[in-house]
Amino acid sequence: MAKETCLCIDLRTAAQQLTQTYDEAMSSSGITVTQFSQLHLIQTLEGPTLKELSVASQLERSTLGRNIRVLEKLGLVMMKVGEDARTRSIHLTKKGRSSFKQAIPLWQSVQQELLQRLGLDGRDQLDEMIDRLTAPLSAS
Protein backbone atom coordinates (compact mmCIF):
# COMPACT_ATOMS: atom_id res chain seq x y z
CA MET A 1 0.00 0.00 0.00
CA ALA A 2 1.35 3.43 -0.98
CA LYS A 3 2.20 6.02 1.67
CA GLU A 4 -0.47 8.68 2.08
CA THR A 5 1.87 11.61 2.57
CA CYS A 6 2.81 14.63 0.49
CA LEU A 7 5.91 14.06 -1.66
CA CYS A 8 6.82 17.73 -1.40
CA ILE A 9 6.72 17.73 2.42
CA ASP A 10 8.59 14.41 2.60
CA LEU A 11 11.37 15.75 0.36
CA ARG A 12 11.55 19.08 2.18
CA THR A 13 11.83 17.25 5.51
CA ALA A 14 14.60 15.03 4.13
CA ALA A 15 16.40 18.09 2.74
CA GLN A 16 16.17 19.86 6.10
CA GLN A 17 17.59 16.80 7.88
CA LEU A 18 20.47 16.53 5.40
CA THR A 19 21.17 20.25 5.69
CA GLN A 20 21.32 19.88 9.48
CA THR A 21 23.72 16.93 9.12
CA TYR A 22 26.08 18.94 6.90
CA ASP A 23 25.75 22.07 9.08
CA GLU A 24 26.61 20.18 12.26
CA ALA A 25 29.64 18.53 10.64
CA MET A 26 30.83 21.86 9.21
CA SER A 27 30.16 24.00 12.29
CA SER A 28 33.84 24.35 13.21
CA SER A 29 34.45 26.14 9.88
CA GLY A 30 31.99 28.87 10.85
CA ILE A 31 29.86 28.45 7.72
CA THR A 32 26.77 26.45 6.81
CA VAL A 33 26.45 24.11 3.85
CA THR A 34 24.34 26.74 2.08
CA GLN A 35 27.05 29.35 2.60
CA PHE A 36 29.67 26.80 1.52
CA SER A 37 27.79 26.25 -1.72
CA GLN A 38 27.52 29.98 -2.37
CA LEU A 39 31.20 30.60 -1.60
CA HIS A 40 32.13 27.72 -3.90
CA LEU A 41 30.11 29.22 -6.77
CA ILE A 42 31.54 32.71 -6.20
CA GLN A 43 35.08 31.30 -6.26
CA THR A 44 34.40 29.11 -9.30
CA LEU A 45 32.78 31.94 -11.27
CA GLU A 46 35.64 34.30 -10.31
CA GLY A 47 33.76 37.43 -9.29
CA PRO A 48 30.27 36.97 -10.66
CA THR A 49 27.57 39.61 -10.69
CA LEU A 50 24.44 38.93 -8.66
CA LYS A 51 22.63 38.07 -11.90
CA GLU A 52 25.32 35.57 -12.96
CA LEU A 53 25.31 34.00 -9.52
CA SER A 54 21.52 33.82 -9.57
CA VAL A 55 21.56 31.93 -12.87
CA ALA A 56 24.32 29.56 -11.74
CA SER A 57 22.69 28.81 -8.37
CA GLN A 58 19.14 28.74 -9.74
CA LEU A 59 18.04 31.02 -6.89
CA GLU A 60 15.85 34.09 -7.22
CA ARG A 61 17.86 37.31 -7.21
CA SER A 62 16.03 38.65 -4.16
CA THR A 63 16.75 35.49 -2.13
CA LEU A 64 20.34 35.44 -3.31
CA GLY A 65 20.74 39.14 -2.53
CA ARG A 66 19.69 38.53 1.07
CA ASN A 67 22.12 35.61 1.32
CA ILE A 68 24.97 37.71 -0.08
CA ARG A 69 24.26 40.51 2.41
CA VAL A 70 24.61 37.94 5.23
CA LEU A 71 27.93 36.76 3.76
CA GLU A 72 29.05 40.42 3.56
CA LYS A 73 28.13 41.05 7.21
CA LEU A 74 30.11 37.95 8.19
CA GLY A 75 33.09 39.37 6.28
CA LEU A 76 33.18 36.42 3.86
CA VAL A 77 32.51 38.32 0.62
CA MET A 78 32.81 41.86 -0.67
CA MET A 79 31.16 43.65 -3.54
CA LYS A 80 33.29 45.52 -6.07
CA VAL A 81 32.05 48.08 -8.56
CA GLY A 82 32.22 46.64 -12.07
CA GLU A 83 33.15 48.28 -15.36
CA ASP A 84 29.69 49.84 -15.33
CA ALA A 85 28.97 51.69 -12.07
CA ARG A 86 25.57 49.96 -11.95
CA THR A 87 27.09 46.49 -11.74
CA ARG A 88 28.81 44.92 -8.79
CA SER A 89 30.85 41.76 -8.73
CA ILE A 90 31.05 39.46 -5.72
CA HIS A 91 34.42 38.30 -4.42
CA LEU A 92 35.61 36.18 -1.53
CA THR A 93 37.53 38.02 1.15
CA LYS A 94 40.60 36.56 2.84
CA LYS A 95 38.32 35.38 5.65
CA GLY A 96 35.91 33.90 3.09
CA ARG A 97 38.69 31.96 1.36
CA SER A 98 39.97 30.71 4.71
CA SER A 99 36.52 29.61 5.93
CA PHE A 100 35.80 27.91 2.61
CA LYS A 101 39.15 26.10 2.66
CA GLN A 102 38.56 24.96 6.25
CA ALA A 103 35.07 23.68 5.34
CA ILE A 104 36.14 21.58 2.33
CA PRO A 105 37.37 18.48 4.22
CA LEU A 106 34.38 18.67 6.59
CA TRP A 107 31.97 18.76 3.64
CA GLN A 108 33.88 15.96 1.90
CA SER A 109 33.61 13.75 4.98
CA VAL A 110 29.81 14.04 5.14
CA GLN A 111 29.52 13.73 1.37
CA GLN A 112 31.58 10.52 1.33
CA GLU A 113 29.63 8.96 4.18
CA LEU A 114 26.31 9.67 2.51
CA LEU A 115 27.57 8.41 -0.86
CA GLN A 116 28.73 5.20 0.83
CA ARG A 117 25.25 4.75 2.33
CA LEU A 118 23.72 5.07 -1.12
CA GLY A 119 26.28 3.19 -3.15
CA LEU A 120 26.78 3.88 -6.86
CA ASP A 121 23.47 2.33 -7.90
CA GLY A 122 21.62 4.24 -5.18
CA ARG A 123 23.18 7.53 -6.26
CA ASP A 124 22.18 6.86 -9.87
CA GLN A 125 18.65 5.99 -8.75
CA LEU A 126 18.43 9.12 -6.60
CA ASP A 127 19.54 11.30 -9.52
CA GLU A 128 16.98 9.63 -11.78
CA MET A 129 14.18 10.09 -9.23
CA ILE A 130 15.07 13.75 -8.72
CA ASP A 131 15.03 14.29 -12.49
CA ARG A 132 11.64 12.58 -12.80
CA LEU A 133 10.12 14.46 -9.86
CA THR A 134 11.37 17.87 -11.00
CA ALA A 135 10.35 17.50 -14.65
CA PRO A 136 7.35 19.65 -15.63
CA LEU A 137 4.00 18.01 -14.97
CA SER A 138 2.00 17.02 -18.01
CA ALA A 139 -1.09 19.13 -18.65
CA SER A 140 -3.62 16.28 -18.57
- Asked if pLDDT for residue 2 goes beyond 70, the answer is no
Cα–Cα distance measured from residue 58 to residue 64, given in angstroms and rounded to the nearest whole number = 9
Query: Model pTM?
Result: 0.87
Dump pLDDT digits (tens) for 117-135: 999 999 999 999 999 998 9
In order of their start, the domains of the chain are 29-134 (1.10.10.10)
Query: What confidence score (pLDDT) does residue 103 get?
Result: 98
Cα–Cα distance measured from residue 117 to residue 59, given in angstroms and rounded to the nearest whole number = 29
Dump pLDDT digits (tens) for 39-81: 999 999 999 998 899 999 988 988 888 999 999 999 999 998 8
